[in-house]
Structure 1
Amino acid sequence: MNELVAKIKELSNAFFMDAELQTEKGNKAAGTRARKASLELEKLLKEFRKASLEEAKK
């Protein structure tokens, strides 16, 4: 589970950097990367929710 949290943290940092580039500088490629990261984050967060529920049952 620690590995999953680390992946989420890394990907969220990348998302925020790209989102900031898009909003502040109008960088279209950064917007594309941010959207891709948001989809990957969604998947990882769903995995985290499942893992968290399993840990809580122990």
Structure 2
Amino acid sequence: MMGKIINFIMTSRKASSFFMKAFMKFLAVVLKYLPLLDLVSLNLYSSQRINPIISKLIFL
């Protein structure tokens, strides 16, 4: 199923351009909110109560 979708994106120029536009918008949003996410993750890491939970989630 996933291969079919990827194949469709690769073959159809319209679909791939749409996909690229969506991806660029997503990247723009991520870059826009990256400092905010950075601050949130730093706050989470600095608080020792949540730190073990995060490390457990990361190393699952």
| Bin for the TM-score computed over the shorter chain | 0.3 to 0.5
> Quick check: which has more Rg, 1 or 2?
2
Higher helix share: 1
Larger RCO, structures 1/2 (Cα 8 Å, 6+ apart): 1
In the superposition, the TM-score normalised over structure 2's length comes to: 0.46
In the superposition, the TM-score normalised over structure 1's length comes to: 0.47
